[in-house]
Amino acid sequence: MALTTSIARHFALRQIIMAVVCFGLGLWGLYDYAIKIPRQQAVWKDYELQTQKKTDLEDLRDERTLTEAEIQEYEATVAELNRLGSPTKPGKLDRLVKGAAFVPCLPFAPYFIWIYVRTKRRVYRLDDDGTLHLPDGVWPQDQIADIDMSRWMAKSIAYVVDKQGTRVKLDDYKHRNLHLIIGGIATRLYPEAWDAEAKQIKADEPQGDEAANESPAIDAGAAGAGGAAAATGPGSEPSDVIS
């Protein structure tokens, strides 16, 4: 049965989340930069103007009686201040910060979408006869000369090599089931080192009690050999040895 890859779920989810976050932050920054903060600045400017006008009319009222037109202007000013409420003065760097920190996030949203689409389209397949289908070509089994597993255990990355020395990167982090393809190639080329799931095979070595148990047997064998040598020393007839 042929082994075929698809985009890894965790990798796809990461690209989608990053695209949404970048789009949201960029859109938020663009709205604040282009609409919200300029509107706040205009409201604050109008508030300062109306406040100054109200103060001037009150000072004039203390000096003399206001005319009918001045009274109407004063009432209109007070009504405008009531409508404005108590606005907050925007910081001098608010617009600059929003424009510099968040608006640049916007172009990264399509970048992460492009990474997602590109990775999803890159499909790897290993046929039953050993033919490897890569996104950029097809390698028959006899064309595959080697597989570099030096970074596999640390980074989940392997490099398949053809007879011309061309190296193709295989990244299991991005592609689901790619480890099975890597394992299939590695176990064919290095059956003593890798299994079909790209897990490293460790050679059996005597450790601990096993090594201790072997020592007496070795010593006993050496003693026996010494005794046999003594028995066949000068003046003794050599015994028959069965090999």
* CA-based radius of gyration for the chain: 41
Do 68 and 131 share a domain, yes or no? no
Task: Decide which of 173, 189, 205 is a domain's last residue.
Answer: 189
Q: What is the pLDDT of residues 155-211, one digit of tens each?
A: 999 999 999 999 999 999 999 999 999 999 999 999 999 999 999 998 764 444 444
Q: Is residue 200 part of a domain?
A: no
Residue 140 and residue 162 in one domain? yes
Identify whether the C-beta of residue 189 lies closer than 8 Å to the C-beta of residue 146.
yes
Q: Is the pLDDT of residue 52 over 60?
A: yes
- Please indicate, yes or no, if residue 149 is contained in any of the structural domains: yes
Residue 236 resides in a domain:
no
At residue 211, φ and ψ (nearest 5 deg) are -65, -40
Residues 89 and 136 reside in one and the same domain: no
Domain containing residue 162: 122-189
Q: Considering the domain boundaries, does residue 214 fall inside one?
A: no
At which of 189, 216, 236 does a domain end? 189
Among 115, 133, 155, identify where a domain stops.
115
Do 79 and 108 belong together in one domain? Answer: yes
Between 237 and 167, where is the model more confident?
Answer: 167
The Cα 127–Cα 181 span in angstroms is: 9
Q: What is the pLDDT of residues 94-137, one digit of tens each?
A: 999 888 999 999 999 999 999 999 999 999 999 999 999 999 99
179 is a domain residue: yes
Same domain for 93 and 29? yes
Clarify whether residues 97 and 54 are in a common domain: yes
